Amino acid sequence: MFFNSEKQLIKRALQGNQGAWASLCKQHHSRVYNQCLRLVGEPQDALDIAQDVFISMHRNLHTFNGNSQFSTWVFKITHARIVDHMRKRKFESIEGKEPEVLQAGPDAGVAQQQSNQEIYDALKQLPFEQRIVVELKFFQHYTFEEIAMQLELSTNTVKARLYNALSKMKGQLEVRDHG
Amino acid sequence: MAKLDVLFAKWLEGKPITEDELAALRNNSEYRDMLQAATQWQQHAKTYQVQTPPPQLTQQSNTDTWSLSTVAAWLVVGLGVAGLWLQNLGLHEQMTAQQRQLAKQQEVIQKVLSQFDEVKPIEQEALSRLVTQVVEQNRKERSLAMNNLVDLIQAQRAQDQALLRLQLNELAEQVEQTPTQNLAQYRGKP
């Protein structure tokens, strides 16, 4: 069989099929990595988190019951690992450890890096709970209801967080315009 | 205000709103700024260059990235399996042909047996008729032979009797011609 549905891949991965597991990872690794990159803004951290995400996925694959989409389940794990990372990072900054400087990847163009850097910087200005809503709304294109379901919040809370993020951006724009 | 909130949410969800509704949002300072910020985020999302995950992550997840030796080993195994498969295919074909032939033979045997079953009663009748005929013939022949034998014996006896009569006549003639002193004297009592 040359084409496998996600369901079949999960089933086979659970049976210990390494190829199926590799295919599942291949389907999600770019999305997970880029999501981590946008939310933490640093490639090395994003890589660490993404690796943790795949380890968690592997350990907990048997808990995926198929009630939601696999991508939603992956996002929940990603979210949890990012939250863990943020807590750890917060602790380290209190301890006086400086965050790592963003290093450009070997294959990344300079213009591309600059464009993405602006996005990372803009996202970094937002508190994490707002950043994640912006990520899901504008980069993942989810509806308010889907975001609420993934974050286990009410739709109104999600809207409030997004509006706050947008209002905050207005302040940044004003600063940039005046600067 | 509540109406504007609904309109803004609708716009954010990508649902179509009219020019008038969009103008109403733009006319409100709070929503105008949010609209502008949201547009900017949408622009960011469009211009964002998807980053290729570093090789560490790809290698970690790509357990199916095989080395040349693995590929070669699999190739050898594959060739072996293919050889066995081909050999097996030949044997299978032969076996199938044999099975087919056996089935044909069984079919023929079955047909012959059924024909034999059909023929059997007729043959038995003919056989019985033949046996009866043979027995009758034998009986006739035997009877004829017996008659011949009886005839032969009777003829033989007649010939013997005739010969005896001739001999007796000859003897009687000899006795009549012989002198009496040459005859034996019977001296006993009569």
Cα separation of B90 and B99, whole Å? 14
Residue ranges of chain A whose CB lies within 8 Å of a chain B CB: 18-19, 21-23, 25-26, 29-30, 33-34, 37-38, 43, 47, 50-51, 54, 105, 107-109, 112, 115-116, 118-119, 122, 134, 137-139, 141, 143-144, 159, 162-163, 165-167, 169-170, 173
My answer on whether A100 and A151 are in the same domain is no
Q: Tell me which residue range forms the domain holding B14.
A: 2-47
| B188 vs B27: which has the higher pLDDT | B27
A151 with A103, same domain: the answer is: no
What the block records as the tokens of B7 is 């309109």
Mean pLDDT of the region A55-77: 89
Render B12-73 in DSSP notation, one character per residue: HTT----HHHHHHHHHSHHHHHHHHHHHHHHHHHHHPPPPPPPHHHHHHH-TT---HHHHHH
Tell me: do A71 and A148 sit in the same domain: no
> Per the domain annotation, does B189 fall within a domain?
no
Q: Is residue B80 part of a domain?
A: no
Q: Mean of the pLDDT values across residues B7-23?
A: 90
Interval A107-150: pLDDT, tens: 555 666 677 888 888 888 899 899 999 999 999 999 999 999 88
Query: For residue B18, is it within any domain?
Result: yes
Are residue A149 and residue A92 in the same domain, yes or no? no
Question: Does ipTM exceed 0.90?
Answer: no
Q: What is the mean pLDDT of chain A?
A: 82
pLDDT for B127-184, tens place per residue?
A: 888 888 999 898 899 999 999 999 999 999 999 999 999 999 998 888 888 777 776 6
Nearest alpha-carbon partner for A123 in A142, A112, A136, A104: A136
In B85-116, which positions are buried (b, 16+ CB within 10 angstroms) versus exposed (e)?
eeeeeeeeeeeeeeeeeeeeeeeeeeeeeeee
Could you read off the pLDDT of B66-119 as tens digits, one per residue? 455 667 777 888 887 887 788 777 777 888 888 888 888 888 888 888 877 777
What single-letter amino acid sits at A110? Answer: V
Is B53's Cβ below 8 Å from some Cβ in A?
Answer: yes
Residue A119 lies in a domain: no
Identify the CATH number of the domain in which residue A133 sits. Answer: 1.10.10.10
How many structural domains comprise chain B?
Answer: 1
Which of A108, A139, A166 lies at the smallest CB-CB distance from B34? Answer: A166
**B2-16 burial, b if ≥16 CB within 10 A, otherwise e?**
eeeeebbbebbeeee
Q: CB-based contacts of A126: which residues, under 8 Å, 6+ apart?
A: A134, A165, A168
Tell whether the model's pLDDT for residue A162 goes beyond 60: yes
Distance from CA of B63 to the nearest CA of A (A): 6
Inside any domain, residue A113? no
Does the residue B165 lie in any domain?
no
Residue A149 domain-assigned? yes
Residue A114 domain-assigned (yes or no):
no
In the DSSP assignment, the letter for residue B190 is -
Whether the predicted pLDDT of A153 surpasses 90: yes
Is residue A80 over pLDDT 80?
Answer: yes
Cβ contact (<8 Å) for B41 and A169? yes
Same domain as A16, residue A84 = yes
CA atoms within 13 A on the CB side of A91: 6
Query: Among the three residues A107, A137, A160, which one is the final residue of a domain in this structure?
Result: A107
- pTM to 2 decimals? 0.56
Q: Taking CB atoms and an 8 Å cutoff, what residues of chain B touch A37? A: 51
CA distance A83 to A87: 6
Q: Could you give the 3-state DSSP secondary structure of residue A38?
A: helix
CB contact under 8 Å between A21 and B40, yes or no, is no
Chain B nearest C-alpha distance from A147 (Å):
12
Residues of B in Cβ contact (< 8 Å) with A25: 60-62
| CA–CA distance, B22 with B17 (Å, rounded to integer) | 7
Count the Cβ atoms, other than its own, within 10 Å of residue A27: 15
Q: Is residue A115 part of a domain?
A: no
Whether A118 is in a domain gets the answer: no
Instruction: Work out how many domains chain A is built from and give that number.
Output: 2
Whether residue A167 and residue B62 make contact (CB cut-off 8 A), yes or no, is no
Per cent of chain B over pLDDT 70 is 87
Q: Give yes or no for residue A106 having a pLDDT over 60.
A: no
Examine the domain organization and report whether A154 and A99 are in the same domain: no
Distance CA B25, CA A166 (A): 14
My answer on whether A97 and A131 are in the same domain is no
Among A97-106, B13-22, B132-141, the range scoring the smallest mean pLDDT is A97-106
B33: pLDDT strictly greater than 80: yes
Q: Is B15 on the interface with A (CB under 8 A)?
A: no
Kindly state the average pLDDT of the residues B42-49.
Answer: 88
Q: Is residue A47 part of a domain?
A: yes
A27 within 8 A of A57, measured Cβ to Cβ: no
Q: Which domain holds residue A24?
A: 1-107
Asked if residues B81 and A36 have their Cβ atoms less than 8 Å apart, the reply is no
Tracing tokens 């032939």 back to the chain, one arrives at: B101
Cα separation, B67 vs B30, whole angstroms: 59
B6 touches chain A (CB under 8 A): no
Burial (0-12, 13-18, 19+ Cβ within 10 Å), B164 = exposed
Distance CA B94, CA B100 (A): 10
